[in-house]
Amino acid sequence: MTSILLIYTGGTIGMMEDHQTGALVPFDFQHLEDQVPELKRFDVALSAEAFDEVLDSSDMKVDHWQRIARLIYGRYEEFDGFVILHGTDTMAYTASALSFMLPNIAKPVIITGSQLPIGMIRTDGKENLISSIQLAAMKVKGAPVVREVAIYFGSELYRGNRTYKYSTEDFEAFKSPNHAKLAAAGIHIFFDYNALYRPEGDFLLKEMMDDRVAVLKVVPGLRKEMVKAVLGISNLRGLILETYGSGNAMTDPWFLSLLKESIDSGLSVVNLTQCDRGFVEQGRYETSNALSKMGVIPGGDMTFEAAYTKLMHTLAYYQEQGEIAKKMVEPMAGEMTNYSSLV
């Protein structure tokens, strides 16, 4: 019988209203199990592991990602697939981080949650949970269909490190702007076999992350003292620079020279567009030429969530700036389209 490990970390799916404040608070796994009697009717062997302290995903930290990665790696041989129940707020960050921490995973890791708690009559949690288990259990000729970290939400399956949370309101809360959805679940589940990731190489646990990464969003009129404050953070190793359009930023000499000084002293700067779709193409406009020349790393079509966690991961495994840049422009776990020929 196919075996699935359910990992419950918290999130709206298992939340209940606090009697005093009316706010939603995470609740234990037993509550969730009681609300979904269907779990007992599955023709798969289900086991569950819950975080000691269940979380609103806004409280997720690097050590939580590491805990999940270790759990999956440690029990990899025991199960055919893994389903993680997680809050939607940082789901795309966790999915991205896990895709880098568990390179070449060849079994499904499906992350899901819900917009409405499982105890509410209109909950989207039941369908999300039940279909995620089914997706994690699906095999063709004995091999799992999904061999990557994916997010299932609102009847669609996505590559996790290609997604971001798009809506606080809709049941279709996630988008994957630069990669086709992996599957659509209606009466039947249709997979897009061209979109599915196929790992090559040994499955590893690479759980280290360096969190000395800052974020700077370019806005019209950005003030010098703000840029100085961010670049002046001691021990800073990485920066995500959120730019306009295809990777453009202002050309004020003070801005360019502050950035260049930081890069010359060892900072790895990744250029990421504020647009949802398309990719960074440094040198297409004069306004990104200088960035290219000083060694800013083009972030391609990565989501913010993927770029941020990939930079943390890369900084933990590599020290040399050139090597870090090389790793950042190469796809590591299907998180970016291969644009290396444009670099």
Applying CB under 6 A, among 89, 127, 172, 210 the residue interacting with ligand ASP is 89
Q: Which of 2, 9, 12, 337 is catalytic?
A: 12
The residue among 64 and 107 lying less far from ligand ASP, judged by its C-beta, is 64
Strand pairing category for 183-185 and 189-191: antiparallel
Question: Stretches 54-62, 70-78, 174-182, 204-212: which one binds ligand ASP (CB under 6 A)?
Answer: 54-62
Is 9 near ligand ASP (CB under 6 A)?
no
Partners of 50 in the β-ladder:
8
Q: Is 12 a catalytic residue?
A: yes
Q: Which of 206, 124, 108 is nearest to 158 (CA)?
A: 108
Q: How far is the CB of 207 from ligand ASP (least distance, A)?
A: 22
Site size for ligand ASP, by CB under 6 A?
A: 10
* Per-residue mark of binding to ligand ASP, 112-151 (x: CB under 6 A): -x-x------------------------------------
Q: Which of 39, 54, 46 is nearest to 9 (CA)?
A: 54
User: Taking the CB of residue 343, how many other CB atoms lie within 10 A of it?
Assistant: 15
Question: Stretches 82-90, 93-101, 148-156, 334-342: which one binds ligand ASP (CB under 6 A)?
Answer: 82-90
Block residue for tokens 């295809």: 246
Residues 6+ apart with CB under 8 A from 169: 115
Applying CB under 6 A, among 87, 108, 247, 299 the residue interacting with ligand ASP is 87
Q: How far is the CB of 53 from ligand ASP (least distance, A)?
A: 13
- How far apart CA 116 and CA 11 sit, in angstroms, is 10
Is 56 near ligand ASP (CB under 6 A)?
yes
Strand pairing category for 45-55 and 3-10: parallel
Q: Which of 35, 47, 175 is nearest to 116 (CA)?
A: 35
The residue among 123 and 246 lying less far from ligand ASP, judged by its C-beta, is 123
**Residue 338, helix vs strand vs coil:** coil
Residues 190-229 binding ligand ASP (CB under 6 A) are: none
Q: How far is the CB of 312 from ligand ASP (least distance, A)?
A: 20
Applying CB under 6 A, among 7, 12, 269, 280 the residue interacting with ligand ASP is 12
The residue among 116 and 205 lying less far from ligand ASP, judged by its C-beta, is 116
Q: How far is the CB of 87 from ligand ASP (least distance, A)?
A: 2
- How far apart CA 328 and CA 342 sit, in angstroms, is 14
Contact 263, 294 (CB under 8 A): yes
Block residue for tokens 């899901």: 112
Helix (H) / strand (E) containing 126: helix 125-137
Q: How far is the CB of 258 from ligand ASP (least distance, A)?
A: 35
Site of interaction with ligand ASP (CB under 6 A) = 11-12, 56-58, 87-89, 113, 115
Catalytic residues: 12
